[in-house]
């Protein structure tokens, strides 16, 4: 297991250098307090509730809308962990609100360019109503989210985009 841990860490360091998206997970930047950072991995007596997957509402009380900085939101609210659920809440299209949606980009470059054509829709404009659209971070990989409306306009100009690299939960199940 120790070997796997080291391998995993090495992999993520490589992934970090490959994808600057890890920036969104602020804990990958060099910590000011090393022991605090280490305790995330090494402290067996960590509060149990922190090891349970969380439901995280994207944008918090702002929900999912045009013009809110989601990159900054992800930076402030990370890190996110494997099996956490991101909840996208947005109104169905109506007279007063833009339609929104949730798309996943296949790679960093299409994410950077808001190339919606290469992205895959994971939620349409009506799936954000009520309890919202739930997306579980099941895989240990970077996820590139955006709103796919107006051919990338919401992504580019509306700042409706963010990247997440889920972290491994200390002593949780390994992927």
Nearest distance in Å: CB 24, Cu ion: 19
Nearest distance in Å: CB 85, Cu ion: 20
- Per-residue binding letters, 82-121, with Cu ion (x by CB under 5 A): ------------------x---------------------
**Euclidean distance between the first and the last CA atom of the chain, given in angstroms as a whole number:** 12
Say if CB 138 and CB 82 are below 8 A apart: yes
Stretch 23-82 residues interacting with Cu ion (CB under 5 A): none
In the beta sheet, which residues pair with residue 161? 146
User: CA of 13: how far to CAs of 9, 45, 63, 173, in Å?
Assistant: 6, 26, 31, 20
Say if CB 79 and CB 26 are below 8 A apart: yes
* Among 24, 28, 127, 149, interactor with Cu ion by CB under 5 A: 149
User: Residue 161, interface with Cu ion (CB under 5 A)?
Assistant: no
| H/E segment holding residue 153 | helix 153-156
User: Residue 137, interface with Cu ion (CB under 5 A)?
Assistant: no
Pick 74 or 160: Cβ nearer Cu ion: 160
User: Residue 169, interface with Cu ion (CB under 5 A)?
Assistant: no
Residues in contact with Cu ion by the rule CB under 5 A? 100, 147, 149, 154, 160
């Amino acid at each position: 297991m120790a070997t796997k841990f080291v391998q995993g860490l090495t992999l993520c360091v490589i992934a970090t250098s490959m994808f600057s998206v890890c920036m969104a997970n602020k804990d990958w930047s060099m910590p000011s307090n090393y022991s605090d950072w280490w305790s995330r991995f090494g402290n067996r007596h960590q509060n149990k509730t922190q090891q349970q997957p969380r439901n995280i509402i994207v944008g918090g009380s702002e929900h999912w809308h045009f013009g809110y900085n989601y990159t900054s939101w992800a930076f402030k609210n990370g890190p996110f962990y494997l099996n956490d659920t991101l909840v996208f809440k947005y109104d169905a299209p109506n007279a007063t609100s833009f339609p929104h949606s949730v798309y996943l980009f296949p790679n960093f470059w299409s994410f950077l360019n808001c190339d919606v054509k290469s992205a895959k829709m994971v939620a349409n404009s009506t799936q954000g109503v009520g309890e919202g659209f739930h997306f579980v971070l099941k895989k240990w990989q970077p996820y590139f989210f955006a709103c796919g409306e107006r051919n990338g306009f919401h992504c580019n100009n509306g700042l409706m985009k963010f990247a997440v690299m889920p972290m491994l939960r200390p002593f949780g199940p390994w992927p």
